[in-house]
């Protein structure tokens, strides 16, 4: 398949590249509040509506890719500019963590939820503290290395087997497929509803597409995802969930 099937932000390129950019759209935010406001300016109402239809996990599952790349390149998170300096001042140093806080806060802003920035910051700080301790042990403790690998392999397999047992033939699913066949698709995804056909021997999910929610994008979805007879092979099924869940 030519497009990776990830839940990436439905980031319409026309909102940034298809219009004459105003000074307001070109503004580089200096802090979190300004970053969230810039995303509200950049995105069309149709894109915001699609985000409102997603769960936070669905949205964050792939938002870093298209939109995140654009933010890193245009807002200078890798270059230690003003926005990066702001995040450094609150104890956040990795650009991916900065993006995570911006995107989470933006999602919650659209949903009229509290941003809970302190909790977000603590989450990333705790992650790096545990990560550093973990990697120090991995460097020196062979038994620990084997134990961690075994746990990871076992947990991953158990979760996948549980998913396969639940996602049986005939179950209804919803998810997102790309509809722009370029290498960099800027996260242009559209929602589809379908029925599980089967799992392949190499753990890919085959789905029959019952409904292209945005019918005007059907031809592009078919082209970009090699859809045959309204059936598609989904390599990364994290972008899908059972309907009603």
* Same domain membership, residue 124 and residue 19: yes
Q: Which domain holds residue 188?
A: 167-242
pLDDT for position 121: 95
* Same domain membership, residue 115 and residue 31: yes
For residue 192, what are its two tokens?
A: 């589809």
* Same domain membership, residue 171 and residue 122: no
pLDDT for position 9: 41
* Same domain membership, residue 179 and residue 228: yes
**Is residue 88 one of the residues assigned to a domain?**
yes
Tally of structural domains, the chain:
2
* Same domain membership, residue 108 and residue 40: yes
Domain final position from 129, 156, 179: 129
For residue 87, what are its two tokens?
A: 């995040």
* Same domain membership, residue 42 and residue 120: yes
Tens of pLDDT along 168-185?
A: 999 999 999 888 776 545
**Is residue 53 one of the residues assigned to a domain?**
yes
* Same domain membership, residue 117 and residue 32: yes
Torsion angle of the four alpha carbons 86, 89, 81, 32, in this order, in degrees rounded to the nearest 10: -20
**Is residue 157 one of the residues assigned to a domain?**
no
* Same domain membership, residue 97 and residue 37: yes
pLDDT for position 215: 93
**Is residue 159 one of the residues assigned to a domain?**
no
**Is residue 156 one of the residues assigned to a domain?**
no
Contact call for residues 225 and 196 (beta carbons, < 8 A): no
* Same domain membership, residue 104 and residue 17: yes
* Same domain membership, residue 103 and residue 20: yes
Tell me what the mean pLDDT of segment 113-141 comes to: 86
* Same domain membership, residue 182 and residue 81: no
pTM of model > 0.75: no
Paired strand residues for 175: 192, 240
Contact call for residues 235 and 6 (beta carbons, < 8 A): no
* Same domain membership, residue 56 and residue 120: yes
Confidence of residue 187 (pLDDT cuts 50, 70, 90): low
Compute the residue count for the chain. 245
Contact call for residues 188 and 10 (beta carbons, < 8 A): yes
């Amino acid at each position: 398949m030519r497009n990776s099937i990830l839940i990436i932000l439905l980031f319409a390129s026309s909102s940034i590249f298809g219009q004459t950019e105003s000074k307001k759209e070109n503004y580089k935010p200096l802090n979190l509040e300004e970053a969230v406001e810039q995303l509200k300016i950049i995105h069309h109402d149709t894109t915001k509506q699609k985000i409102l239809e997603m769960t936070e996990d669905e949205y964050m599952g792939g938002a870093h890719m298209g939109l995140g790349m654009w933010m890193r390149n245009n807002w200078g998170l890798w270059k230690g500019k003003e926005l990066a300096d702001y995040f450094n001042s609150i104890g956040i140093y990795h650009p991916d963590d900065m993006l995570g806080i911006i995107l989470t806060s933006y999602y919650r802003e659209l949903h009229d939820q509290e941003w809970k920035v302190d909790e977000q910051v603590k989450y990333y700080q705790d992650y790096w503290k545990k990560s550093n301790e973990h990697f120090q042990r991995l460097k020196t403790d062979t038994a620990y290395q084997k134990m961690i690998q075994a746990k990871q392999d076992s947990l991953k397999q158990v979760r996948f087997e549980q998913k396969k047992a639940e996602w049986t033939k005939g179950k209804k699913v919803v998810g997102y497929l790309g509809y722009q066949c370029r290498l960099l698709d800027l996260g242009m995804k559209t929602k589809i509803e379908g029925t599980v056909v089967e799992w392949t021997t190499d753990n890919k999910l085959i789905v029959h597409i019952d409904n292209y929610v945005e019918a005007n994008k059907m031809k592009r979805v078919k082209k970009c995802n090699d859809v045959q007879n309204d059936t598609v092979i989904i390599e990364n099924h994290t972008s899908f969930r059972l309907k009603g869940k």
